[in-house]
């Protein structure tokens, strides 16, 4: 800092906030002495540029310990717990500059601490920074470390869910999902694991097929985690082996669809005062998550939003003609209602119960339904 605060001022602030452990990146006596009598546990550090000097001559290590540790280590003095030898000296950015000096410096400092009679309670250590390139590894190793602290360091970890949604949020789209899976599957193929658990990992991708009735309490994206659309069409090319030979996964065969018809806002209706409540009703009993901010159908106008909501309800009711009324606001059409890049779905025949297609409409089918995104 160009205008440093008094160490005593900072120490008082630390105490006021109930902080009990502090790491200092140097061992400046003015700063260290301000902690005397506080009981706060200190980690003192030796800067990287001092490692060569301390590693080359044991007397330099003795002098450092005398000046920076034992000087403050007295009854009512400073509670020193660790001496950090260097600061992440093995980072790649240092190009190996401290590879030959760090360990000899560590040995000399610990020897000097032992010789001074404090080595049983003040330990020398080397701060390492693991190079995390992704959140998955960081999360995984956080769990591994927690298990180790809990006394079960060798417990097997299986990742039950990892994936990326494709709709329902501004960051949930096909491009981001493909980017995620391409990188993740390449990582799995290398079988290099994480910094704390190298080797092969057992991981389940989440999920297989979109679920249009899943709870959206965590977010609208919850219904769009599938690698496949509602009718088991692959969303984007990928290679599950992680070798980069991307191609579309095989889709399901034998899927049957309901008639190509849609329920939309009646263009002849002029009085739209009842539009809002009917739109809300349709969305409450169907899936309108694609209409959310940043989602695939976010660019529709008021009439488009209504048509999308009406159609989703109509399709999820197996195209029952009674499901396309909405107080006279809606009408059935055989013209594809998709517009402005927004895909209006047509439902498939549900496997949850018997279904028949007769007289131009589908009979009501109980149970869950899947949807085709045309």
Short-list 264, 203, 257, CA closest to 231: 257
What is the end-to-end Cα distance of the chain in Å, rounded? 61
Judging by DSSP bridges, how do beta strands 357-358 and 346-347 pair with one another? Answer: unpaired
Q: For residue 159, how many other CB atoms are within 10 A of its CB?
A: 15
Cα–Cα distance measured from residue 48 to residue 46, given in angstroms and rounded to the nearest whole number: 7
Select from 3.20.20.80, 3.30.1390.20, 1.10.510.10, 3.40.50.2300 the CATH code of 7-125.
3.20.20.80
Omega within 30 of 0 (cis) for the link into 207: yes
The pLDDT profile of the chain, 374 residues, written as one tens digit per residue, is: 788 889 999 999 999 999 999 999 999 999 999 999 999 999 999 999 999 999 999 999 999 999 999 999 999 999 999 999 999 999 888 999 999 999 999 999 999 999 999 999 999 999 988 778 899 999 999 999 999 999 999 999 999 999 999 999 999 999 999 999 999 999 999 999 999 999 999 999 999 899 999 999 999 999 999 999 999 999 999 999 999 999 999 999 999 999 999 999 999 999 999 999 999 999 999 999 999 999 999 999 999 999 999 999 999 999 999 999 999 999 999 999 999 899 999 999 998 854 433 333 332 222 223 323 22
Q: What is the pLDDT of residue 359?
A: 31
Domain boundaries along the sequence of the chain: 7-125, 135-223, 262-372
Short-list 33, 30, 35, 4, CA closest to 20: 35
Backbone φ, ψ for residue 15 (5° rounding): -65, -40
Which residue out of 161, 202, 260, 327 is catalytically annotated?
161
Please state the pTM of the whole predicted model: 0.71
The structure tokens listed for 345 are 């779905």
Note the maximum CA span of the chain: 98
Q: What is the pLDDT of residue 230?
A: 93
Q: Judge whether 161 counts as a catalytic residue.
A: yes
Q: Is 109 exposed, middle or buried (0-12, 13-18, 19+ CB in 10 A)?
A: buried
Judging by DSSP bridges, how do beta strands 202-205 and 371-372 pair with one another? Answer: unpaired
Q: What is the pLDDT of residue 93?
A: 86
- Whether residue 82 contacts residue 119, with contact meaning beta carbons closer than 8 Å, is answered with no
Cα–Cα distance measured from residue 48 to residue 162, given in angstroms and rounded to the nearest whole number: 39
Cα–Cα distance measured from residue 289 to residue 251, given in angstroms and rounded to the nearest whole number: 24
Q: Judge whether 115 counts as a catalytic residue.
A: no
Backbone φ, ψ for residue 54 (5° rounding): -70, -35
Q: What is the pLDDT of residue 131?
A: 77
Under DSSP, is residue 330 helix (H, G, I), strand (E, B) or coil? strand
């Amino acid at each position: 800092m160009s205008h440093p605060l008094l160490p005593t001022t900072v120490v008082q602030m630390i105490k006021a906030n109930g902080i009990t452990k502090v790491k200092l990146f140097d061992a400046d006596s003015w700063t260290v002495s301000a902690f005397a009598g506080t009981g706060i546990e200190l980690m003192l550090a030796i800067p990287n540029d001092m490692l060569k000097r301390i590693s080359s001559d044991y007397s330099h290590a003795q002098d450092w310990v005398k000046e920076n540790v034992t000087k403050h280590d007295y009854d009512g003095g400073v509670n020193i717990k660790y001496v950090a030898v260097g600061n992440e000296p093995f980072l790649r950015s240092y190009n190996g500059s401290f590879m030959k000096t760090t360990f000899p410096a560590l040995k000399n400092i610990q020897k000097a601490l032992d010789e001074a009679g404090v080595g049983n309670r003040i330990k020398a250590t080397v701060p390492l920074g693991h190079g995390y390139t992704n959140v998955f590894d960081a999360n995984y190793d956080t769990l591994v470390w927690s298990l180790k602290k809990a006394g079960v360091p060798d417990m097997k970890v299986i990742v039950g869910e990892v994936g990326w949604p494709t709709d329902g949020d501004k960051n949930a789209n096909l491009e981001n999902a493909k980017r995620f899976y391409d990188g993740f599957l390449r990582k799995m193929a290398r079988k290099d694991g994480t910094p704390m658990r190298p080797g092969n990992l057992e991981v389940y991708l989440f999920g297989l097929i979109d679920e249009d009735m899943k709870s959206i309490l965590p977010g609208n994206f919850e219904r769009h985690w599938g690698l496949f659309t509602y009718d088991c069409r692959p969303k984007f090319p990928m290679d599950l082996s992680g070798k980069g030979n991307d191609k579309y996964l095989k889709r399901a065969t034998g899927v049957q669809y309901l008639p190509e018809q849609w329920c939309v806002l009646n263009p002849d209706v002029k009085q739209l005062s009842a539009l809002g409540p009917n739109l809300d009703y349709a969305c409450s009993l169907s899936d309108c998550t694609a209409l959310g901010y940043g989602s695939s159908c976010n660019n529709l106008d008021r009439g488009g939003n209504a048509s999308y909501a009406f159609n989703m309800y109509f399709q999820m009711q197996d195209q029952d003609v009674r499901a396309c009324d909405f107080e006279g606001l809606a009408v059935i059409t055989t013209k594809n209602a998709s517009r402005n890049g927004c895909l209006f779905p047509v439902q498939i025949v549900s496997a949850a119960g018997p279904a028949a297609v007769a007289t131009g409409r589908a009979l009501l089918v109980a149970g869950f339904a899947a949807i085709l995104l045309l």
